[in-house]
Structure 1
Amino acid sequence: MGNHSRKKQKISNEPLAHPLGVPARFGDQEEKDEEELLLESFLFGPSDELVSVSSYKSNFVQDTTPDVEDHGQALLGRKSSAWTDTDDHSLQVSLAADKRRRKLRDALIEDTVDGREYERRLRREFEKENPSPGWARDARTLPFAGGEGKRIRTSMGSDVEEEEDPARGGEGLDYLLSQAASILETPHVKSLPHGTVAIERLRDANLSAKAEGEVKVVQFHPSPQVPILLAGSSDRRLRIFNIDGHTNPHLHTLHIPTLPFTNALFHPSGTSVLLTGPRPFYYTYDLQTGTTQRSPRGLWGTTFASNIQGSQDGSMEVCAFDQSGSVLAVAGRRGHVHLVDWRAGGGQVVGSVKMNAAAKSLWWLGEELLTLGDDSEIYVWNVGQRKCVRRWKDDGGYGSHMLGGDRSGKYLAIGSKVGFVNVYGADATHGGGGGGDRPKALKTIGNLTTAITSLRFNHDSQLLAIASNVKKDSMRLIHLPSLTAFSNWPTSSTPLGHVTSVDFSAGSEYVAIGIIFSS
């Protein structure tokens, strides 16, 4: 089948690029166009002619559901092709010679078919194994104005005949466009009941490449379409896994001998990973190019930084990106919190704010930065003006240790050195609460008895995971609407060990728990 520019353009619109690594390319097969090769790869898997140029052991699961734009074009209809490749009929493809193609035969004695028939059977087999979603099938039955049946294109391009529904004539395109919201709108959030939670233990995420030391941090990719998890450990290695709930294949290991990193976090854009530790420098790992870079020499060398005593900090362990990923806040010495400009790609300190005590924890809400001091005081900063707009002390005075909040700013949680967790409402960040300007905690959670070292909210603010690495099995899941702990998990028989890190996946399908088993 000869190549054609229109077919190449169509293929380029498909989501073939993988977030990690470079897409695989096909070998030299002049008799097949790119569309046939794509269909073969979906149906049969990589052939012996597939050449991988990626350094990873596995690729991500390919989403075969067409995007909204593709379905919009399908539903509005397409004219039949204005050009037909004459080589399609002369091309002969043997179905019996290759065991991967035998499933395409309609009869056991069948052997060769021409190019057009071969393409049709590839489409048929693909749509059998990857059916269109229900909403797309329903949309194809919608009526069109004009009084006659219209020809539209399915998700993979095969033509089907659509009949007009007399009972709904006259609505036509207006009706179709009025129903487009059903494709685009966010599904209704299901409320979780309190008391018990449905949870199932799966295969360990890093079973295919176990850490040789303590797991310091686990974190899921911020995009729901990229099911990967990073795990950083004390052996100075960052391992990345494809989380499918079954085999969880290992994708890559990054070793940085010069940095004993204790913190690893995805950039909000999902394109890179930041690695920091008890050193005055950091490393970034680009997920798309596979390159690693150390922070520039001028990170602390600005005129501003040279005028601040102790600005050349020896650690970057406590840090956090703002939600846009343009600014990185780094907790420094003597109450300084440095602001690193991340927009140009090479970080440089461009400003600072100062607290009265050493900064213990940081959290961003929009353009505001919340910092927790060693004296249990919380500062709310307007970063653009380098100004503290609000300041209040944590309720109870339990020795505040770390803070964190949900994405919407509905909740703020502050963990203490003795296991108590104060949960505040939106008044803690958006306005004054009870007792003057000091917000009042919605509830003090006392399920743990040792220092809180992990706080993590899930994506829809219904769950809060709290944990302590000081004592074995010290973890609880909190139901936020009722502010109560789930009673059925974890239990005394749940093998948690010492919990070092917790994270929810972007859609809360999974929760990952970094643990240490020791006496």
Structure 2
Amino acid sequence: MAGTELERRLRARFSRSNVGQAWAEPKNNADEDSSDDEEESFAQDLLANSDRLIAGRGGANLRPGNIFALRCKDANQHDPSKAVVRSVQFHSSGELLLTAGLDKTLRFFQVDGEENSKVHGVMLKDLPITQAAFTADDQVILSGDKPHFYYYDVQSGVVQRVPSIRNAAGKAQSTLAKFALSPNGEWIAFAASAGYIMLVSAKTKQWAADFKLNCSVEALVFSPDSRYILASGRDAEVYKFDVRHSRCVQRMYNEGGTGTTGLDISPPQPHRYMAVGSESGVVNIYDSVAATAASAGSIGVYRPKPLHAIMNLTTPATIVKFNSDSQVLAIASSEKKDALRLVHVTTGTVFANWPTQRTPLGYPFCLDFSPSSNFLAVGNDKGRVLLYRLIPYSGTRA
């Protein structure tokens, strides 16, 4: 389905189910308003006084040092969350954004940086949402700290509850709070209890296989080709599981030795990186191809050297996320206020000028880049989804 058609259907459904309903306006306290105004003025001054901000499309050859971000209206300004925002994600075809959180509500917004109009909303009465994500065939998977999960079908508007899934031994998992979706659209990998990863068919929603870590699963992601699941936890090892053969093919030790709290792999082109965030706040960046090459013969613990070690966070790095061209890595901690940094991946250096002391991030719990990286959305503890336009990827003066 094209992005425009997806948006049209969601809007039509919203109009039918919300006739006469006034959208909520965001309510900020005086301190937050002051911070917003100061930061917007700061950004406008930068735009007015620096020719360096006229950037080409795509962020080609992004330079280290400074990156300029212009504050926009909140992405969810027309319907802020009533609790912590735990998931934000842009649709792959454009700037349709989903938000979800502990107020049990999935919302869709059309992000343009100015109006950011609400498209649709769905409430799940029995599921405080800890994660939500688009599938390749335009469903949305929604999970929480429960043994069941939901999926929302965009085309039909139907919300379907999937009861607890049992494995081959008949055992059901007690929580399905975290998951990863395979890029090819075939699989959902849930981080279940007791170190298990439960592999589920994205089409049938039926159990397919189990994988096991020697510790709790704190982070997981599929490889870009969907052949492998990479997962890590308290033992600081990244496990590589072969999906087709249902077995572990490699264990990689993350240098530093503290438990893993975040994990991401960059898009396959132009260069593949892997980022591993730890309890100490250190984020290591590896060459993904070298670090995850399948071992021949017996499985040992591989100990590659990271390309870069980022040490700008002092609390657990709960978020690590590459942008679309692998030049920017966002790292953040939900355990400390305003703890978010953007990293220039090639050099492994943090952009020094943003965020500033006047950037009112709050406690960041989730974030996502838009498909072209011109927007960065950050969900926080106040129920807001802060929106920033990244000038190097905007193509024009913003």
Which category describes the TM-score, using the shorter chain as reference length? 0.7 to 0.9
Distance 2:3 2:108 in 1: 20
- Other-structure match for 2:392: none
The residue type equivalent to 1:277 in the other structure is G
Distance 2:331 2:256 in 1: 18
The residue type equivalent to 2:274 in the other structure is L
Q: Tell me the SS of whatever aligns to 2:292.
A: helix
| Contact in 2 for aligned 1:398/1:420 (Cα 8 Å) | no
Which of 303, 311, 322 is the matching residue for 2:182?
322
- Other-structure match for 1:19: 6
Cα deviation, residue 190, structure 1: 1.1
Q: Larger deviation: 399-408 or 506-515?
A: 399-408
The residue type equivalent to 1:293 in the other structure is Q
- Other-structure match for 1:446: 311
Which of 219, 238, 244 is the matching residue for 1:384?
244
- Other-structure match for 1:286: 153
| Contact in 2 for aligned 1:21/1:290 (Cα 8 Å) | no
Cα deviation, residue 201, structure 1: 0.6
1:166-200 per-position Cα deviation (integer Å, ceiling 9, x unaligned) = xxxxxxxxxxxxxxxxxxxxx87611111011221
- Other-structure match for 1:273: 140
1:353-408 per-position Cα deviation (integer Å, ceiling 9, x unaligned) = 22222211111112111110321111111111112111121111122222111121
Counterparts of residues 107-506 of structure 1 (less than 5 Å): 190-223=60-93, 226-269=94-137, 271-295=138-162, 297=163, 300-301=165-166, 304-306=168-170, 311-342=171-202, 345-365=203-223, 366=225, 367-408=227-268, 410-426=272-288, 427-430=290-293, 437-506=302-371
Distance 1:267 1:489 in 2: 32
What's the RMSD between the two structures over aligned residues? Answer: 2.3
Distance 2:345 2:86 in 1: 26
Which of 363, 375, 378 is the matching residue for 1:513?
378
When residues 56 and 346 of structure 1 are mapped into structure 2, their CA distance, relative to the original with a 3 A threshold, is farther
| Contact in 1 for aligned 2:337/2:363 (Cα 8 Å) | yes
Distance 1:471 1:300 in 2: 35
When residues 305 and 19 of structure 1 are mapped into structure 2, their CA distance, relative to the original with a 3 A threshold, is farther
Distance 1:276 1:443 in 2: 33
Q: Tell me the SS of whatever aligns to 2:125.
A: coil
The residue type equivalent to 1:55 in the other structure is F
Distance 1:489 1:457 in 2: 17
Cα deviation, residue 422, structure 1: 1.0
Cα deviation, residue 54, structure 1: 3.8
Q: Which structure features the higher share of helix residues?
A: 1
The residue type equivalent to 2:366 in the other structure is S
Q: Which structure features the higher share of strand residues?
A: 2
| Contact in 1 for aligned 2:58/2:372 (Cα 8 Å) | no
Distance 2:165 2:151 in 1: 17
| Contact in 2 for aligned 1:362/1:370 (Cα 8 Å) | yes
Cα deviation, residue 300, structure 1: 2.3
Distance 1:236 1:305 in 2: 32
Distance 1:235 1:430 in 2: 41
Q: What is the TM-score when the length of structure 2 is the normalising length? A: 0.79
| Contact in 2 for aligned 1:20/1:288 (Cα 8 Å) | no
Q: What is the TM-score when the length of structure 1 is the normalising length? A: 0.61
Distance 1:265 1:16 in 2: 15
Distance 2:196 2:208 in 1: 13
The residue type equivalent to 1:340 in the other structure is V
| Contact in 2 for aligned 1:240/1:252 (Cα 8 Å) | yes
Unpaired runs of 5+ in structure 2?
A: 17-56, 384-398
Distance 2:333 2:187 in 1: 29
| Contact in 2 for aligned 1:21/1:56 (Cα 8 Å) | no
Larger Cα-atom Rg: 1
Cα deviation, residue 431, structure 1: 5.8
Q: Is residue 2:55 matched to residue 1:55?
A: no
The residue type equivalent to 2:87 in the other structure is V
When residues 492 and 21 of structure 1 are mapped into structure 2, their CA distance, relative to the original with a 3 A threshold, is same
Distance 2:106 2:370 in 1: 18
| Contact in 2 for aligned 1:362/1:403 (Cα 8 Å) | yes
Identity percentage of aligned residues:
35
Q: 1 or 2 for the larger relative contact order (CA 8 Å, sep ≥6)?
A: 2
The residue type equivalent to 1:412 in the other structure is M
Distance 1:188 1:515 in 2: 27
Distance 2:144 2:76 in 1: 22
Cα deviation, residue 261, structure 1: 1.3
Q: Tell me the SS of whatever aligns to 2:240.
A: strand
Q: Larger deviation: 209-218 or 479-488?
A: 209-218
Q: Tell me the SS of whatever aligns to 1:230.
A: strand
Cα deviation, residue 17, structure 1: 6.4
| Contact in 2 for aligned 1:21/1:55 (Cα 8 Å) | no
| Contact in 1 for aligned 2:177/2:192 (Cα 8 Å) | no
